[in-house]
Chains A and B, each alone.
Chain A
């Protein structure tokens, strides 16, 4: 039978970012898929040679906007490990809270995009509507919606007041109620199941041997999640991973949907158990603090009032009761230079993120190597595609939640 080579991407309606797949097809069936990368490669790892190890936090946050908080967390944990810094417990809980908020907004973004990929527009809008509330929480607590920039070496830059914690819990209760209203649709609807069940099968053995990560791995029956190692405050929250056994696109979407609800519980638990105390530890002495100062209460109020007056934002829900962001122990003083190597891992929304960092006693890191989950999930994707129908390719590609800016850095 004659074979045809079909280019999929780099620009495709289902892809938010450029990825090119060279698909070999027979009739409508995919026989082989080969990837081409390099459309958004920025060489961010190389910047460690000209930016000092504190400035690298801002660089790694920009590897990926969707999970910026977790990139910074992984990097900071590595530097803290090299420099022997003990992070205060409250800071660990705050890192957990913002990390889980990031997971929620990433999963909600993906659930919307996934619904859009198989043409369920109203479901797409519902998920993104819920996501807006999570973005509002991040804006109210960090001053930014996406790149929250809360992690510093030794802890976090900001704190949460009791009023803010209460407000977050109220917002999460609304989000949880709205999410549960969508559970029947995303998990049981005929249209959704017709497009996802049995599509993009990755067997349990394949998932492990091909190095799959995150919901792609857990959707194939593996109970493996880096949060089980207990980084940040996860060791004190009794975390158990969400696992599905369907090994298909439906199972991967079910993992992400259930993880969103689980993240709400984890944030609640973290707020309830968060101890009082410092939010950042001094690191080996003192030096000039060049970290940006938090916006003053007055400035913040003016900005928010101007924001709310703007009619473009008329759908914004009620602002939090206390707009004055309580700053954490901002002056995390860092003296000394990292000298040594460390490997750290955290669980990003898309899966396991690994940082290998090496310091040589100078202000610049010698090497910052980042392995992102999508990088790990491309070989499994190449195994999922052969045998599928051409019309299912967009759904399968999206089922790994590809983040190409992460992958190429």
Chain B
């Protein structure tokens, strides 16, 4: 089973910088919607084929600090997460504005799930 280290919003870039300085390679990031109002963003790092994973849980509409100023390689995956889940990243080095895969006029977030609740009378 996957073991992850907790990560706070304020520490995202500091942890990335720390990992970079320690020689960790950014493999990728994974996003997942955990409920109607929250997302998980997991940062996967590798060093000598050993991996560590940081889990950031953020409410919807949160702007996450981009780690692309530290790891240039993060720019594509951050843009992809923006396309799929609508999570915005601040200070991303190359911002496609939600149009990496999608056309600019698309407003839906294709990977966001919408749950249906019974209407309260």
Residues of chain A whose beta carbon lies under 8 Å from any beta carbon of chain B? 34, 37-38, 41, 43, 45-46, 49, 81-82, 208-211, 224, 226, 228-229, 340-343, 345, 352, 354, 356, 358, 366-367, 369, 371, 375-376, 378-379, 383, 408
Contacts and interface: CB of A to CB of B under 8 A. Distances in A.
Name the 5 nearest CB pairs between A and B, nearest first: A211-B73, A371-B28, A341-B2, A41-B101, A38-B101
Given A34-B94, A37-B100, A375-B28, 14 more contacts: A37-B101, A45-B111, A82-B1, A208-B25, A341-B1, A341-B2, A343-B53, A354-B44, A356-B2, A356-B42, A369-B32, A371-B77, A376-B28, A376-B73
Nearest to A41: B101
Contacts of A375: 28, 76-77
B17 to A, nearest CB: 13
Interface in B7-59: 20, 25-28, 30-32, 42, 44, 48-49, 51, 53
A354 B42 CA distance: 13
B27 A379 contact: no
A340 B32 CA distance: 13
Contact of B30 (A38, A46, A369): A369
B87 to A, nearest CB: 14
Contacts of A378: 76
A298 B94 CA distance: 58
A70 B120 CA distance: 49
Contacts of B49: 224, 226, 228-229
B28 A46 contact: no
B35 to A, nearest CB: 11
A38 B103 CA distance: 9
Nearest to A49: B113
Nearest to B31: A369
Contacts of A228: 49
A343 B51 contact: yes
A210 B102 CA distance: 25
Contacts of A358: 32
A375 to B, nearest CB: 6
A151 B47 CA distance: 29
A38 B44 CA distance: 24
A211 B25 contact: yes
Given A343-B51, A369-B30, A46 B76 contact: no
B73 A379 contact: yes
A356 B31 CA distance: 10
Given A38-B102, A367-B32, A408-B101, A210 B73 contact: yes
